[in-house]
């Protein structure tokens, strides 16, 4: 189906089902329950889950296939965002031109950065990409303020000269749309104490993510993907055979940068506010964590890693002392205070500590990330196949 094997088509179908039923899957607890704070089925978070999934999928094409570790991918996310916001200010609030231009501009910028950075490999390549990202951040924050808005950032205004849109009413804030469909349009379904929100912006972003995921599968299974794996396996041996690896690595870098630009354009489509903080080095480090935590070099791993980190960032970070006191209220006062004191450093503002410990555990015990963990669990419940020629289940020696 669509040029995919049965296994890959099944994986694509699983991701599509998860995206389609996300409002139900992410809202498992009724709104009146004390566990409702763990629900994540609200539009802003669901949008970020799929958008950063796109970002991680693109990064995985570079890091997972070639082994080149970039610490500067946030620069392409930011460049794509700025390109998208300027399309909305100058052309139209329709998100289609903004997303197309964000991909193209990020692709051109990544071509320049990749052409220079790929002259080196290993840690030197990583440092070069980090340097480009930090230079881009500094330019956006303080030097190119007429273009980037500096510290305050950019957002659409009713005074902007949008040549394809009708002039809005004075003081009216322009809203991103897809041929008239407002990105913030939502419909709620009440089912007892459960409230499920279906947001137009989320499903549009999810559809784009499915297309991006499908393209990544085709890249992984293509001869081009095989060449990238050869680069990761032994680039010097590949060069000795007479094959020049530079065009392949540069192409992977540009494709990865275009994915980042696509994610940046979608971020603007969902929230028409752009700031230089999207280009800071911590954003580049975050996508590295997403990919490694989910499983570098796997298809679905980066999506799982992005969802896991964004869930912790938005849900676990909201657990404060008052919530913990409610959790341990059934305990005696002294033990309650002790439990709150012990748990509090790992939640709320300390959620990064929990993430760091989980990341260390994954790297040490599950080098293949969450995907490897799922595979191990699957093997535990899978029946051991026995050889029909060997009644006792033992392997018959080969003659």
Percent of the chain at pLDDT above 70? Answer: 95
pLDDT at 34: 75
CB 188 within 8 A of CB 195: yes
> Which range, of 171-175, 230-234, 274-278, 331-335, averages the lowest pLDDT?
171-175
pLDDT at 399: 33
pTM of the entire structure? 0.91
252 or 41: whose pLDDT is higher? Answer: 252
| Token code pair at residue 185 | 């349009």
> Which range, of 98-112, 331-345, 385-399, averages the lowest pLDDT?
385-399
Extents of the domains making up the chain: 6-299, 315-378
Give the separation between CA 153 and CA 274, rounded to whole angstroms: 5
| Token code pair at residue 279 | 């280009």
Give the separation between CA 111 and CA 88, rounded to whole angstroms: 25
pLDDT at 295: 92
Give the separation between CA 332 and CA 35, rounded to whole angstroms: 22
pLDDT at 37: 84
In this structure, how many other beta carbons lie within 10 angstroms of the beta carbon of residue 156?
A: 19
pLDDT at 238: 84
pLDDT at 240: 83
pLDDT at 397: 43
- 6-299 folds as ABC transporter involved in vitamin B12 uptake, BtuC (1.10.3470)
Residue 386 has pLDDT above 70, yes or no: no
- Residue 104, C-beta contacts closer than 8 angstroms, at least 6 positions apart: 83, 261
- Residue 107, C-beta contacts closer than 8 angstroms, at least 6 positions apart: 254, 257, 258, 261
Q: Tell me the pLDDT tens digit for each residue of 347-364.
A: 988 898 998 998 899 889
pLDDT at 398: 38
pLDDT at 384: 57
Residue 46 has pLDDT above 50, yes or no: yes
- 333 phi and psi, to 5 degrees? -55, -45
pLDDT at 394: 52
Q: Tell me the pLDDT tens digit for each residue of 84-141.
A: 999 999 999 999 999 999 999 999 999 999 999 999 988 999 999 999 999 999 999 9
Q: Tell me the pLDDT tens digit for each residue of 185-202.
A: 999 988 888 989 999 999
**How confident is the prediction for the chain on average, in pLDDT?**
89
CB 265 within 8 A of CB 209: no
Give the separation between CA 361 and CA 364, rounded to whole angstroms: 5
For the chain, give the secondary structure using H, E and C: CCCCCHHHHHHHHHHHHHHHCHHHHCCCCCCCCHHHHHCCCCHHHHHHHHHHHHHHHHHHHHHHHHCCCCCCCHHHHHHHHHHHHHHHHHCCCEHHHHHHHHHHHHHHHHHHHHHHHCCCCCHHHHHHHHHHHHHHHHHHHHHCHHHHCCCCCECCCCCCCCCCCCCCCCCCCCCCEECCEECCCEEEEEECCEEEEEEHHHHHHHHHHHHHHHHHHHHHHCHHHHHHHHHHHHHHHHHHCCCCCHHHHHHHHHHHHHHHHHHHHHHHHHCCCECHHHHCHHHHHHHHHHHHHHCCCCCCHHHHHHHHHHHHHHCHHHCCHHHHHHHCCCCCHHHHHHHHHHHHHHCHHHHHHHHHHHHHHHHHHCCCHHHHHHHHHHHHHCCCCCCCCCCCCCCCCCC
- Residue 209, C-beta contacts closer than 8 angstroms, at least 6 positions apart: 19, 50, 51, 53, 54, 57, 303
In the numeric block, the tokens 């700031």 are attached to 275
Q: Tell me the pLDDT tens digit for each residue of 237-287.
A: 888 888 888 999 999 999 999 999 999 999 999 988 898 988 988 899 999
| Token code pair at residue 278 | 């999207």
CB 50 within 8 A of CB 205: yes
pLDDT at 396: 42
CB 296 within 8 A of CB 64: yes
């Amino acid at each position: 189906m669509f040029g995919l094997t049965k296994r890959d088509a099944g994986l694509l179908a699983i991701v599509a089902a998860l995206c389609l039923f996300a409002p139900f899957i992410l809202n498992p607890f009724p709104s009146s329950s004390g566990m409702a704070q763990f629900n994540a089925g609200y539009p802003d978070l669901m949008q970020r889950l799929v958008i950063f999934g796109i970002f991680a999928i693109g990064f995985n094409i570079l890091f997972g296939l070639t082994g080149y570790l970039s610490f500067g991918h946030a620069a392409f996310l930011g460049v794509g965002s700025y390109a998208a916001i300027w399309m909305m200010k100058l052309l139209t609030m329709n998100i289609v031109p903004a997303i197309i231009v964000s991909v193209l501009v990020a692709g051109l910028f990544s071509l320049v950065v990749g052409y220079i950075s790929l002259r080196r490999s290993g840690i030197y390549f990583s440092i070069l990409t980090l340097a480009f990202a930090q230079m881009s951040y500094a330019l956006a924050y303080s030097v190119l303020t007429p273009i980037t808005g500096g510290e305050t950032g950019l957002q659409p205004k009713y005074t902007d000269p949008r040549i394809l849109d009708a002039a809005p009413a004075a003081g009216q804030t322009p809203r991103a749309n897809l041929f008239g469909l407002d990105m913030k349009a939502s419909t709620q379904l009440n089912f007892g104490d459960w409230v499920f929100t279906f947001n137009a912006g989320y499903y549009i972003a999810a559809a784009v993510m499915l297309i991006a995921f499908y393209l990544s599968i085709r890249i992984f299974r293509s001869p081009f993907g095989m060449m990238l794996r050869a680069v990761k396996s032994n680039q010097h041996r590949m060069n000795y055979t007479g094959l020049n690896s530079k065009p392949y690595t540069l192409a992977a870098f540009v494709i990865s940068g275009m994915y980042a630009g696509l994610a940046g354009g979608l971020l603007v489509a969902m929230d028409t506010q752009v700031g230089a903080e999207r280009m800071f080095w911590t954003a580049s480090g975050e996508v590295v964590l997403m990919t490694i935590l989910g499983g570098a070099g796997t298809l679905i791993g980066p999506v799982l890693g992005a969802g896991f980190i964004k869930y912790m960032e938005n849900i676990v970070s909201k657990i404060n002392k008052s919530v913990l006191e409610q959790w341990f209220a059934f305990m005696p006062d002294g033990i309650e205070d002790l439990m709150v004191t012990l748990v509090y450093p790992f939640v709320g503002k300390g959620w990064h500590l929990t993430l760091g410990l989980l990341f260390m555990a994954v790297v040490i015990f599950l080098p293949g990330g969450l995907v490897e963990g799922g595979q191990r669990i699957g093997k535990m419940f899978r029946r051991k196949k026995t050889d029909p020629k060997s009644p006792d289940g033992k392997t018959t020696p080969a003659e």
